[in-house]
Chain A
Amino acid sequence: QKEVEQNSGPLSVPEGAIASLNCTYSDRGSQSFFWYRQYSGKSPELIMSIYSNGDKEDGRFTAQLNKASQYVSLLIRDSQPSDSATYLCAVRVGGYQKVTFGTGTKLQVIP
């Protein structure tokens, strides 16, 4: 079992819809969770971090964490074509600086 798992996609959503990206992780000691956006040929850009159970909202983005289910998700409201990118989930186990990345979900927003 991979430490951090994501569906590779592509996930296609129409412009204006909600995009839902999911991530599961294997280590119950995980304490920090991050979502990065990576455009093709570019470096990952941190868009959200979440540390406690529940929802965290930032503009059109909402991160959701459920530690009991070992599940973290990212919702993008009012999706725009400019949101088309690969979204990487990253997880840090408590006590360590190292972050483990999933292989990413490719999101395509169709105009």
Chain B
Amino acid sequence: GEEVAQTPKHLVRGEGQKAKLYCAPIKGHSYVFWYQQVLKNEFKFLISFQNENVFDETGMPKERFSAKCLPNSPCSLEIQATKLEDSAVYFCASSQSEGGQGAYEQYFGPGTRLTVT
């Protein structure tokens, strides 16, 4: 599609439950990024993919967070055993393949608001 799609819009989970978020990048974009935005607009980079391969996972809290981008499926971000501090808006963004300056422009989806109670 022409826009990054994210589902669901809102997700409420009790502490300790699992949460799974989905992202479909713009058609033709090879890179997918996940960010977590908490208070004061602070964006935390979580992980990026180049097609189905993990490209950079330096921001991922690996003990509870995992992510996948499989062929012909939306990308997913899964949080096992959610904690109160995981409450945030999770944004997915995509960008084109490398090559040319515009390749690095990231386009964001509408986000998924996760509330852990």
Which residue numbers of A lie inside 8 Å of B, CB to CB?
8, 32, 34, 36, 38, 42-46, 49, 51, 86, 88, 90, 92, 96-101, 103-104
A45 nearest CB neighbor, chain B only: B108
A101 nearest CB neighbor, chain B only: B43
Closest 10 CB pairs of A and B: A101-B43, A43-B108, A104-B41, A32-B104, A51-B101, A44-B108, A43-B110, A43-B111, A103-B41, A92-B104
Contacts of A51 in B (CB 8 A): 101
Is the CB–CB distance between A98 and B109 below 8 Å?
A: no
Contacts of B50 in A (CB 8 A): 97
Which residue numbers of B lie inside 8 Å of A, CB to CB?
31, 33, 35, 40-43, 45, 48, 50, 55-56, 91, 95, 98, 101-102, 104-111
Number of A-B contacts (CB under 8 A): 54
Contacts of A92 in B (CB 8 A): 104
Shortest Cβ distance from residue B28 to the other chain A in the assembled complex, whole angstroms: 16
Is the CB–CB distance between B40 and A99 below 8 Å?
A: no
Shortest Cβ distance from residue A61 to the other chain B in the assembled complex, whole angstroms: 15
Is the CB–CB distance between B101 and A32 below 8 Å?
A: yes
